[in-house]
Structure 1
Amino acid sequence: MSRTTVHDLTQGSVKTQLWRMTWPMLIAMSMMMTFNFVDAYFVSLLGTAELAAFSFTFPVTFTVISLVIGLGVGTSATVASSQGKGDCELARHQGGVAVVLSAVLVMLLCALVWLLHDGIFVLIGADQATLPVIAQFMDVWLIGGVFVAFPMVGNAVLRANGNTRLPSMVMASSAAMNVILDPILIFGWGPVPAMGLTGAALATVLAYAFSSVIILYMLFIQMKAIAWKASWRCRLQSAKTILAIGLPASSSNMLTPVAMAGMTAIIAQYGHEAVAAFGVGGRLESLVTLVILTLSMTLPPFISQNYAAGRHDRVRQAYLGTIKFVLIFQGAVYLLLLLLSSFIGDAFGQDKAVAEIIVLLVAILPLAYGAQGVVILSNSSLNALHKPMFALGLNLVRLFVMYLPLAFIGGRVAGLTGVFVGAAIANLITGVIAWRTVCGQLCPVKEPTTEEPNESTV
């Protein structure tokens, strides 16, 4: 009977270990972010109204995804910690609990969004004419929302074991399938009718369903990486441990789409063209910060395993080295975006006004993506250190003390340009705060004062 291979992350070169974990995920994340960008491009061809409606869906769909990402963070930290302590059997059962728990919570959240659909989007800033267009996408997406849970949490289990190649293959395959299905289902092909926004949602759901089947088969059947035959006491304790990190992490992640909704409402004051451009900007941000997002997935299991094993020197080295790399890399990305800003605006702005706003956005917001990366990686590091409340507080400060207030004030002072400048300044300030917060936890690192709860023998 084959078993999943557990990679020991507490030995060997820190740079080599992180590179081995990161490069497969980077390839997969590139494809995932590309398909998000392709989604926006194909929808933009439908018209400004459809692109604006599509942009309104992003805060809501990302709220569901953020819940799953947070549960994945809790899963990764919990399973990696058990692996670092040498308890592989407990790690398998924790992974099984995580998969079931995430599916149940996602279905409940999707049902809630379904019931409150119109009220949510009106609150964000959508008008009555836009609501039916938004529903074309959301009705399908919410039905298939449960398929978001399985690949994300399943991949978190594998990353906690130091395995990033299989997750990267699953993510890349899912992204490729989405890219292929998008033009077919949106515009029609042969016997397939043109479905517009409904087709865009269906392409995404089918891609997630495909990756769900693959990852569950690999986890349960082939690799035996997760299990469910444990005492109820063990299951409940595993769920408690996962949620102790996962719920604050989910709350922290879900603050982002809530703030995004607030930002969308601020920008909606400047017209549908501004909302459409901001929607493109959100997907552009996901694409050009994919190195940050990838490291936020591979750094936590490394930190958790080493912290649990007492290798605090390796934790410090990994965090500080990663932050330095991200700041340099994102600086280079910003210069490239400045050169390509006009091209990006023309490609995604079928309307001249939309194109001009995209160019303005690209010139301002990416300047602070490096600082934003410091916040993201600091949050993931704090979660990996089992300090999720620190991460939650940091995100609260970034979004609701800095980001939204400064964007609002900037808009009052200098219009749409001021909104973007205020948001960029907020990220720069919070990046410094995040750096000092994590350094305060790591330099010097204090020994844990309390032990993990003793989860009963399986």
Structure 2
Amino acid sequence: MTVSDQTLAQGLSTKEKIKIIIVLAVPAVIENFFQTMLGFADTFFVAQIGLEEVSAIGVTNAVLAIYFAIFMAVGVGVNVLMVNAAGAGNYKRASKVAQQGIILASFIGLFTGLVTFIFAEPLLRLLGVEQRVLEIGALYFRIVAVPSIFMAYMFVLSSVLRGIGNTKSPMKAVIIANVVNIILDYVLIFGFLFIPALGIVGAGIAGVFARIVGTVVLVYYIQKNNQITFYKEWWRIHKDYQKELLGLGTPAAGERLAMRIGQVVYFGFIVALGTNTFAAHQIAGNIETFSYMIAYGFAAAATIIVGKQVGAGNYNEAKSYAKLISDISAFFMIFMGVLLFLLGEWIGSFFSEDSVVIAEIGTALKIAAVFQPFLAILLILTGAYQGARNTKYPMYLTTMGMWIVRTGLVYMLAVQMNMGIAGVWTAIGIDIVFRAIVLWYRMEKNKWIKTEEQMSFKDRVECQCHPQTKQPRMNECVNNY
């Protein structure tokens, strides 16, 4: 019995469930580690050039995060529909979902590339950066984001593999892409032998090549998998599937966009505090993302396991797994919080020699350390809600948290009360706690799963068909929808 099959087994002990969770989560954690390294390596190497270049990458990443939100949303739709279909044993439908997701990713990737080419400067100018940072940032932005179709493919192709319970192949693809990125970063940023030093331009070129390599590797692993079968006649737009993907993906995109646009607004407040404070905030954020990798890995496992249980109609098991994964992730994140608290300032010293910047990095990470277990619960439950086909409520909650709680408190604490970077990170922590508590409360009240009665008729039929007997619990079965 495979891990994918075991996720649907009934009557498992807590120990057996933990084993399933770990087997699925660990590759996703490692994948997230190396995914984080893609941005971390750029920031680390470019920090050796100057703080203006670090800020340029920071403001570019703030806009790219909006693109990532859209790409990730398509991936969420693909992942959820595929795990639900796999839970019902319908791998034909899972394959169709995968192909439609790739088509959607292609269109979106080309569109964001065009937007970047035309509007790079205006988009970065919205952040209120200094002219020199704007010039450097616009150049870097165009290099990395005009070919953003490869970013889209990496998100969606990874989701396709996770949709059938395969978390190892995306991990391998990201590791390979990371090795390529780090080598090219060093060679192209600083120069090597006959290759001239290209600075921040080299960092951008390295990232693009790394994503191309990652895309090729993911395609290779999909072709090797016998649970997914692509057919030539399915490479056309299918309105019903696109509606489903957008129905799940749009709220997920809305959630990410609410977060990123809110981030853009409070980034403006941080920029107003000074270039050094913004650089410290950016570096602290890059360091903290190493703790995110654990929670995101377990969140991926939560989406897969909960999605399969919901697809099979095992709602109590879905809730049991969601709570167990939250507990396990919180335990690991407490450990990461201790490391951030004790070592944050020391790690920051590798990024800057400015004593004020280093001290501010340490302050930010000490505050972040306190909120790590709440961050774990927030991310895992968001993944669980997605697996339960409920992507709208996290969107509403994130919008409220980012625009009312976080952005409002950043302005009040950091600007009005002159708390500086301590006020920024305290506001972020309060928002995290607020959203984690609300998601947990709704799960306890059983108001978190999109039930059969709330689904469309076609969805209900699809979920109720038994893969072998073809006998539905409803009046008819649509096998080829």
TM-score, scaled relative to structure 2: 0.89
Provide the rounded CA distance (Å) in 2 between the counterparts of 1:451 and 1:126. 46
Match of residue 4 from structure 2: 7
* Cα 1:446/1:27, change in 2 over 3 Å: closer
The answer to whether the aligner puts 1:413 opposite 2:440 as a matched pair is no
Give deviations 1:98-146, integer Å, cap 9, x for gaps. Answer: 0111121122123223322222212112122221110221111112211
Provide the rounded CA distance (Å) in 2 between the counterparts of 1:345 and 1:422. 21
* Cα 1:373/1:398, change in 2 over 3 Å: farther
* 2:370 pairs with one of 358, 362, 367: 367
Give deviations 1:33-74, integer Å, cap 9, x for gaps. Answer: 234322211111011111111111111111111211111111
* Cα root mean square deviation, aligned: 2.2
Match of residue 343 from structure 2: 340
Match of residue 187 from structure 1: 190
* 1:156 pairs with one of 133, 140, 159: 159
> Which residue identity lines up with residue 91 of structure 1 in the other structure?
A
Match of residue 387 from structure 1: 390
Which secondary structure state, in structure 2, belongs to the residue aligned with residue 194 of structure 1?
coil
The worse-fitting range, judged by mean Cα deviation, of 382-391 and 232-241 is: 232-241
1:233: Cα distance to partner? 9.2
* 1:218 pairs with one of 216, 221, 224: 221
> Which residue identity lines up with residue 401 of structure 2 in the other structure?
R
* Cα 1:441/1:102, change in 2 over 3 Å: farther
Do 1:255 and 1:395's aligned partners in 2 also have CA atoms closer than 8 Å?
yes
1:173: Cα distance to partner? 1.1
Do 1:337 and 1:362's aligned partners in 2 also have CA atoms closer than 8 Å?
yes
Match of residue 60 from structure 2: 57
* 1:428 pairs with one of 425, 430, 433: 433
> Which residue identity lines up with residue 211 of structure 1 in the other structure?
G
> Which residue identity lines up with residue 87 of structure 1 in the other structure?
N
Matching of residues 343-362 of structure 1 within 5 Å: 343-362=346-365
* Cα 1:452/1:175, change in 2 over 3 Å: farther
The answer to whether the aligner puts 1:173 opposite 2:170 as a matched pair is no
Q: Provide the aligned length of Structure 1 versus Structure 2.
A: 453
Provide the rounded CA distance (Å) in 2 between the counterparts of 1:112 and 1:355. 36
1:366: Cα distance to partner? 3.0
Query: What percent of counterpart residues are identical?
Result: 20
* Cα 1:230/1:442, change in 2 over 3 Å: farther
The worse-fitting range, judged by mean Cα deviation, of 162-171 and 229-238 is: 229-238
Provide the rounded CA distance (Å) in 2 between the counterparts of 1:134 and 1:330. 33
Provide the rounded CA distance (Å) in 1 between the counterparts of 2:276 and 2:117. 27
The worse-fitting range, judged by mean Cα deviation, of 200-209 and 211-220 is: 211-220
* Cα 1:349/1:122, change in 2 over 3 Å: same
Provide the rounded CA distance (Å) in 1 between the counterparts of 2:285 and 2:395. 22
Do 1:52 and 1:273's aligned partners in 2 also have CA atoms closer than 8 Å?
no
Q: Unpaired segments of 5 or more residues in structure 2?
A: 460-477
> Which residue identity lines up with residue 417 of structure 2 in the other structure?
V
Give deviations 1:257-285, integer Å, cap 9, x for gaps. Answer: 22221221111111111111111122112
Do 2:169 and 2:221's aligned partners in 1 also have CA atoms closer than 8 Å?
no
Matching of residues 34-433 of structure 1 within 5 Å: 34-220=37-223, 223=226, 225-230=228-233, 235-411=238-414, 412-416=416-420, 417-433=422-438
Give deviations 1:133-165, integer Å, cap 9, x for gaps. Answer: 102211111122111122221111111111111
1:396: Cα distance to partner? 0.9
Provide the rounded CA distance (Å) in 1 between the counterparts of 2:351 and 2:313. 50
Provide the rounded CA distance (Å) in 1 between the counterparts of 2:219 and 2:457. 28
Higher RCO structure (Cα 8 Å, ≥6 apart): 1
Provide the rounded CA distance (Å) in 1 between the counterparts of 2:23 and 2:324. 15
